[in-house]
Structure 1
Amino acid sequence: MQEKAEVSQMVTPEIIDTMARIWARSIITLIDVRVQNIVSQYPLEHYKMPSSMFIYACGGEAQIQLNETAFGIERFGLVHGGKGSLLSISPTGESVRTFMVFYKAESPLFLKRYLQQLLDQVNPFVQQYGYTPSNPILVLDLFQQMMNAWNGGKAMNQLQAKSFLYQLIHGVYRDFEEGEVRYLQPDPSLSTKVYLDKHYREPIMFKEIADMFGISGGQLTRLFKKKEGMSLQEYLIQRRIEAACHGLKNTEATIKEIAAGTGFVDEKNLFRMFKKYYKMTPSDYRKINALSMQVDGIDNDSHIHYNERELANLVKSHRDGESSMFGQVRSKEMLFAAAMSLMLLLTACTSGTPVNNRGTVNPPAETQQSKQTEVPETKASEAASQTRTISTVKGDVEVPSNPQRVVVDYLVGDVVALGVTPLGVARATRGETEAVYSNQIKDSVNIKMEPEDVMSLEPDLIILAWGEENYDDLSKIAPTIYVPYGDMTTEERIRFMGDILNKPEEAEAVLNAYASKIEEAKLAFTNAGLSDKTVTLGEFSDKSSSVAGAKHAVGVLIYNELQMKAPPKVQSDIIAADKYWGEVSMEALPAYMGDYLIALGDTEVPADQAIWKLLPAVQQNRIVMVGSSLSWSTDIMTSSALIDHIVNQLLALAK
């Protein structure tokens, strides 16, 4: 069990206030209220909860388990879990009386966005916790009254039962707020460790584990690292490598089979992790361990005989085969280093290659070739692991020559245009980019560009264009390239992306097609008499408007690439001042207006405003609407689609 000090990071006053706001603004449906005595002979095992639930156990000791988390109940205990959780209740004594409250929460349409923002911080409806209430008898009476009202059957009775549910929630959060409670919830990092030890062979989503505790993936990562001294991903990789080492030492399975059986995506991923952690290939590791086993077996028959009791007194087993003799532990690292040294020494002796003073060996080419012939998996893995060095604003970064598992944010269209289907995409939510490249990313995983989400995909390359503050954390997961797209022209950015993905020819082909589209658009504007017309773009509303400059994604296209003219006021106040936006009141708006307006975003223009109605562009219906699906990103596929949209609209209006 866990005391208040250990979980204070999870139920801070701010979190409690947020949870209370969510409950107060959500639509709550009470589904069922039950009570039963669970006896030790017939425990409840692995019941899949059909909805969110409160469980109150009293009258005896019991173990309540939700998924991988166990709660010890002594006399009274209240536990909460989300829909889909696996519930088990095992009385320690003869029986335990258990109340179960089933409920469902929904968001009202008019508060959906606001509630989603709160739910991104903490979700009280899936949050998993357990504690002993400050006044357990009062809580017991509350559950009993809720049960009696629910069994009344009439609508008024069910309304009363629902009111008791709200009283229960208020009492729970009041207990959390006052802090005078005994928490039953185990340490999330410990439960996570148990889960990873059990499920490391399976695909792991750290966010799903965090959801079990109702905390964010980032918070779980911080708690785990603080307790275990390593990140979630590092621990998971360590467990998988340990299992792979066992397979390499004790089976004749191929490296591909071992990779598949220990949770790695494929043998290439296993190879890369071995090179990173052991500085050698899996095949080399297998050879070295085979050699060390031979060394340990030398002159076996000359050992002095002794009985099992004496052996037990002398030798103690530690973890996976480590042993200590007379209290001294021989570490895996020492055995590994000794075996490695022996292998290198034998290699040097048989090849005639001298060992230099630094302890490294330089074997001739024929030795390397024979080694690859003997172990074809190594050759394939080494070919797959070839790398190139990319110069970036963050320094030189070594990337795979042909990346296979690419995660990208924001500039998804650039990656897709170069013929690469990303494994994971961030900030490319369905609906915002679906019209542009939905078919190409239909099989991509949509994630947030947060370390814990990216870790779960095990990428071999990360392309980051938004959220520079995450660069250091992401670069620890896989080679990460930061693209300062705002400081690059389209040509510079696409060539840079082509260099990153090893697609230089594709990049030139994409740029040529894009340049042709720009020239065709400019020619069409000239023929339609639009070359000398001015254009204003921005977001317009009843109270104030935001007029965009040439740094805006659409502004780059309109003013820099299509070379359309801005009104003098926009040019002097926004573009010349190197501003992204300029806030303009409705009264000042006429001074910024051009011959044509491009309205950005999905909000409606202020059609009922008197000043708005008097604008010449409005009166002459020279407004081009550009939704967020096209104005949101600067990637080349979205820009290309935006050109088509704006050109077609302007040409139609010019007629």
Structure 2
Amino acid sequence: MKLLFKKAMIPFTLLLVLILSACTSNEGQSTESTNETSETITYQSENGPVEVPSDPQRVIVLSSFAGNVMALDVNLVGVDAWSKMNPRWEEDLKDVEEVSDENIEKIIELNPDLIIGLSSIQNVDKLSEIAPTVTFTYGKYDYLEQHIEIGKLLNKEEEATAWVEEFKKQTAEVGQQIKEKIGEEATVSVIENFDKQLYVFGDNWGRGTEILYQAMGLNMPEKVKEMALEPGYYALSTEVLPEFAGDYMIISKNPDTDNSFQETETYKNIPAVQNNRVFEVNAKEFYFNDPLTLEFQLEFFENAFLQ
């Protein structure tokens, strides 16, 4: 970076003229995220203000937010492995590289103009030297506020906000229809088998939980509320699964994982199983809570509960 800077140096007098000219031409211009006349905008990140491109063309997402970026029609050049493995995004991401926070050289080669990730990613200092890097702490914003924040970052707050408002209306309508069909007191649980371990989820850990519990206001079983609501998820054994099973069950199922728990007598004797109230989804399609995934989840729930 220093070498490039030295090569780009110009005589001081000319530099001064350029600075004065720039100040004059930019006088009165706003630095708010809605300013589209500037080449950069200032995004107020949780770690302080960050200068980012007003119209990013080569974005890398290192965790969670690929669907948010795609929903706002912004070009991606690199995404995390979880996004890359989503079968629904195979076509959209076929020319997008899989990267991680450890692939510094590969990220340099991709020449990004913006990098986005969770606050848990590594090498933020190195990444920030490559391109403006903005991270988010998971759960600091709810799933809809998060999309609006991504919209602000990408200079598309208006589009993001419009989507959120429309989605709220849709989920409210479908949620009311579902309640009328299954009853106000019916419970729903979301179960996933990952790496030979069963998990049950609270109301903010993807897998459709935000829609079911937050948007639609459906009930989670008391045991789920007790153990999984605050931390977001809870690991359990097959033997205690009936205690966490709702009147309806969403099974987030990874086709690459051993799902033999469904062959046990314990599982087969759960009332939701016996009453044909279990809806299976492909975990790889259901992990996230971005707009593209949320729309897919909403359509699935509408068809599953109301068919």
**TM-score between both structures, scaled by the size of structure 2:** 0.82
Aligned to 1:620: 275
- Quick one: distance in 2 between partners of 1:606 and 1:391? 47
Is 1:416 aligned to 2:70, yes or no? yes
* CA–CA distance in structure 2, aligned partners of residues 467 and 590 of structure 1: 34
The residue aligned with 2:159 is 506
1:171-182 paired onto structure 2 within 5 Å: none
Separation of aligned partners in 1, 2:206 and 2:23: 56
Q: Does 1:551 align with 2:171?
A: no
Deviation, structure 1 residue 545: 3.0
Deviations 1:303-360 (A, max 9, x none): xxxxxxxxxxxxxxxxxxxxxxxxxxxxxxxxxxxxx35x46xx9xxxxxxxxxxxx6
Call closer, same or farther: CA 1:439–1:516 in 2, change over 3 Å.
Answer: farther
Match in the other structure for 2:228:
574
For structure 2, the residue ranges without an aligned partner over 5 or more in a row are 26-35
Q: What's 2:112 paired with?
A: 459
**Which of 147, 152, 166 lines up with 1:494 in the alignment?**
147
Candidates 55, 60, 64, aligned match of 1:407 = 60
Q: What do you get for the CA RMSD once the two structures are aligned?
A: 3.1
Match of 1:607 among 256, 262, 266: 262
Distance in 2 between the 1:537 and 1:465 partners?
24
Give the Cα separation in 2 of the matches to 1:366 and 1:556: 47
% same residue: 29
Deviation of 1:488 after TM superposition, in Å, equals 1.1
Match of 1:588 in 2: 240
State the one-letter code of the partner of 2:231.
K
Is the alpha carbon distance of 1:397 and 1:609 closer, same or farther for their aligned partners in structure 2, counting shifts above 3 Å?
same
2:272 and 2:205 mapped to 1: Cα distance?
22
Counterpart residue identity of residue 295, structure 2: S
- Unaligned runs of at least 5 residues, structure 1: 1-233, 242-276, 289-339, 348-359, 370-382
Q: Distance in 2 between matches of 1:586 and 1:573?
A: 16
Deviation at 1:469, TM superposition (A): 2.5
TM superposition score normalised by structure 1 = 0.41
2:303 to 623, 648, 652: 648
CA distance in 2: counterparts of 1:366 and 1:444, whole angstroms? 36
**How many residues end up aligned between the 2 structures?**
290
Note the C-alpha offset of 1:426.
2.0
Amino acid at match of 1:593: A
**8 Å contact 1:598–1:626 — kept in the other structure?**
yes
1:84-123 aligned within 5 A: none
Which amino acid counterpart does residue 233 of structure 2 have in structure 1? Answer: W
**Is the 1:537–1:600 contact (alpha carbons within 8 Å) kept by the matching residues of 2?**
yes
8 Å CA contact 2:189–2:221 kept in 1: the answer is yes
List aligned pairs for 1:53-452, cutoff 5 A.
234=1, 238=3, 241=4, 277-278=5-6, 340-341=11-12, 343=13, 386-409=39-62, 410-430=64-84, 432-435=85-88, 437-449=89-101, 450-452=103-105
Q: Tell me how far 1:400 sits from its aligned partner.
A: 1.4
Compute the displacement of 1:581 (Å): 2.2
Choose from 264, 285, 299 the match for 1:630: 285
Q: SS where residue 486 of structure 1 aligns?
A: coil
Looking at structure 1, the residues matched to 275 and 100 of structure 2 have their Cα atoms a distance apart, in angstroms, of 43
- Aligned AA for 1:651? L
CA distance in 2 between counterparts of 1:366 and 1:552 reads 47
Distance 1:608 1:626 in 2: 17
Amino acid at match of 2:271: P
1:591 and 1:516, CA in 2 relative to 1: closer, same or farther beyond 3 A? same
**Offset of residue 546 of structure 1:** 2.0
Deviation at 1:368, TM superposition (A): 7.8
User: For 1:526, which of 179, 184, 191 is the aligned residue?
Assistant: 179
Asked which structure has the greater RCO (Cα within 8 Å, sep 6+), the reply is: 2
Shift of 1:439: 4.1
Offset, 1:514: 1.7
C-alpha change, 1:414 and 1:530, in structure 2 (3 Å) is farther
